[in-house]
């Protein structure tokens, strides 16, 4: 689906060169949106994304950054500003963490997931908001201005069912996803006066490379598919379409919400 509202806008997507992030980037780019895609280390995927999305005749920028590092956020925002001079959409999609039973966790292992997922989300959202609508636009972050809000800007963060359900070995990432859902609510309230909407999308079981990291992954996947009312494994495009809709003008009245797209798995 092509959304005219994205033409000549700019989107920043972490984890944007593979899986769900890549699908989001494609939907936006082929709707006329310029994209900046953050990746960790897979240069081949970054190059492929840049080449393929470049066919849409929009600006495509790839940025290598490790979200755990202190200089990652300033570097990302500086490169987006240098290339486009503006930002309209931010998608926090990158995920990283140690897959271990919670009884095997050390403080360092736990901190990795929280810093890469939850802390990076906060810091990037703060910096992205300042590029979307500069500070000083409103005096009080809780004051609702009279008249129409500023130009529509949107943020979406990715969560997962591991935030509310026990998934073996997923405790560290699951805790960070629960934090992300809470962070979204606070961001939505504080950024609303600046015309910025913030939401979360919780995906169910999705066919991406990350599934291979789980022990006995195929047996687990088969069991989850059997329990999913819609009877199949989710695809990156299933989640990407929800994210892009939340970024679009059609979702202007939705903020601070968590939209679950899981084929009904959480119902049973």
Please give the positions annotated as active site: 170, 177
- With residues binned 3-state (H G I as helix, E B as strand, rest as coil), the percentages for the chain, rounded to 5, are 50, 15, 35
Give the C-alpha separation, 50 to 36, whole Å.
10
Give the neighbor-by-neighbor strand order of the sheet with 89-92.
60-64, 34-39, 10-14, 89-92, 153-160, 196-203, 258-261
Give the C-alpha separation, 236 to 15, whole Å.
13
Q: Closest Cα to residue 252, out of 190, 198, 189? A: 198
Helices in the chain by DSSP H: which ranges?
Answer: 19-29, 43-53, 72-84, 107-113, 120-132, 171-191, 217-227, 236-247
């Amino acid at each position: 689906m092509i959304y005219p509202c994205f033409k000549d806008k700019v989107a920043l997507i972490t984890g944007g060169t593979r899986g769900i992030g890549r699908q989001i980037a494609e939907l936006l780019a082929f709707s006329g949106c310029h994209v900046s895609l953050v990746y960790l280390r897979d240069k081949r995927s970054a190059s492929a994304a840049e080449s393929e999305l470049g066919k849409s005749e929009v600006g495509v920028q790839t940025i290598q950054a490790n979200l755990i590092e202190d200089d990652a956020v300033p570097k990302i925002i500086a490169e987006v500003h240098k290339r486009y001079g503006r930002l309209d959409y931010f998608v926090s999609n990158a995920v990283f963490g140690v897959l271990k039973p919670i009884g095997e966790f050390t403080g360092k292992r736990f901190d990795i997931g929280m810093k890469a997922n939850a802390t990076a989300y906060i810091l990037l959202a703060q910096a992205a908001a300042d590029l979307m609508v500069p500070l000083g636009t409103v005096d009080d972050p809780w004051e609702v201005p009279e008249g129409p809000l500023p130009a529509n800007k949107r943020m979406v963060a990715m969560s997962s069912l591991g935030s509310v359900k026990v998934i073996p070995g997923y405790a560290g990432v699951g805790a960070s996803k629960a934090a992300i859902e809470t962070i979204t609510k606070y961001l939505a309230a504080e950024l609303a006066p600046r015309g910025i909407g913030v939401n979360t999308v919780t995906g169910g079981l999705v066919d991406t490379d990350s599934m291979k990291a789980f022990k006995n992954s195929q047996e687990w996947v088969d069991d989850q598919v059997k329990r999913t009312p819609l009877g199949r494994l989710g695809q990156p495009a299933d989640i990407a379409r929800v994210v892009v809709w939340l970024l679009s003008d059609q979702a202007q009245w939705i903020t601070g919400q968590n939209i679950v797209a899981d084929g009904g798995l959480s119902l049973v």
